[in-house]
Structure 1
Amino acid sequence: MPRALLSVWNWLERNLIGLLAIAALALATYQMIARYLMPSLSTAWTGEVVIYLIVWAVFVAASLLVHEDAHIRADLVLRLLPAKSQRPIEIFNIVVALVFCLVLAYFGVLAALDSWQMDERSITALRFPMWVYYAALPAGFALMALRYIRRLFLYLLRYDAQTMSVHSGRES
């Protein structure tokens, strides 16, 4: 993947996460101020929207964490191995993570489609379509799967033990 495209992807994810977090914070702050200082301006739906924004931000952030190799993982045994011996284990880990992401993305799509077809809506006054909420799962896991595919190609085609082992940090 060209570095320029990767930079744009990273920039888009970071900024989307930031915008979602700022929107959630602004709505939560508004709701808190309105509830205690101006009860007539308080709305019943802001808490629900804050949750939706945070859920979307978390699933998008999961993709960025894959890129930065920042997901929590058990690598005690891997750290004991020499850098060159880590490659096949890392490839196996990537394949397992990729399959996991693809399975969850698939079932997330099914859940979102079911919700859309049934016109499922939240029970609050907002009556928000639930498929938008459910779509965060397949979107996040699809983004993670794309990151794992990229990482798999790096480990298969451009592996460098000096820069890609657990001793060195993240891949480029």
Structure 2
Amino acid sequence: MLAFIDRISAFCGRIAAGLFFVIGLLIAYEVTARYVFTAPTPWTEEISRFLQIWATYLAAAFVLANRDMIVIDFFTSRMRPGPRRLCATASLLVVAAFCLVAMVYGIEIVAESVAQNRHTSTMLGVPRWMTEAAVPLGCALLLAQIAAEMVRLWVRGAER
């Protein structure tokens, strides 16, 4: 099960990397269109923002799996393994609590947007749920990765 969760996180991380690459291409296109041809596009900013939201939430589990989250380890690096494991558990539990809250409220917001048929107030008029769904999905992926890391930490006794 741990390998499966890691594979999902890695797959989502690759998707996020691809989305960030596409965002770079869109912004380069917009800069060229605006400043070279003086013909700005009305759609690149909204699509870039949409892709950035999805890429960020899809990448979260991958970032945790690779231990690339921002950490301040001034004190924990000097601790013995037992207390260090407790600190790692506490931090994972805080992130897990945040994920649970964001998932619950995120699902409610997505359901409300679908029920009310809300759209963005831009020229493209993208349905709002398409952007909002990134929050509960990304938090669910992150929560699964947190569970995998907790198993590694306590069952296998391995800190990454």
Q: TM-score if structure 1 supplies the norm length?
A: 0.82
Matched, 1:97 2:95: yes
Matched, 1:32 2:31: yes
Corresponding residue number in structure 2 for 1:72: 70
Corresponding residue number in structure 2 for 1:22: 21
CA contact (8 A) 1:98 1:145 kept: yes
Consecutive unaligned residues of structure 2, counting only runs of 5 or more, are none
Q: Structure 1 residues 153, 109: CA separation in 2 closer, same or farther (over 3 Å shift)?
A: same
Instruction: Write the distance in 2 (CA, Å) between the matches of 1:76 and 1:31.
Output: 43
Aligned residues: 160
Corresponding residue number in structure 2 for 1:107: 105
Shift, 1:148, TM fit: 0.4
Q: TM-score if structure 2 supplies the norm length?
A: 0.87
Instruction: Write the distance in 2 (CA, Å) between the matches of 1:115 and 1:138.
Output: 14
Shift, 1:7, TM fit: 5.5
Shift, 1:76, TM fit: 2.9
Instruction: Write the distance in 1 (CA, Å) between the matches of 2:6 and 2:68.
Output: 18
CA contact (8 A) 1:105 1:138 kept: yes
Q: Structure 1 residues 116, 85: CA separation in 2 closer, same or farther (over 3 Å shift)?
A: same
Shift, 1:53, TM fit: 0.5
Shift, 1:16, TM fit: 0.2
Q: Which amino acid aligns with 1:83?
A: P
Shift, 1:91, TM fit: 2.1
Consecutive unaligned residues of structure 1, counting only runs of 5 or more, are 165-170
Shift, 1:156, TM fit: 2.0
Q: Structure 1 residues 10, 100: CA separation in 2 closer, same or farther (over 3 Å shift)?
A: closer
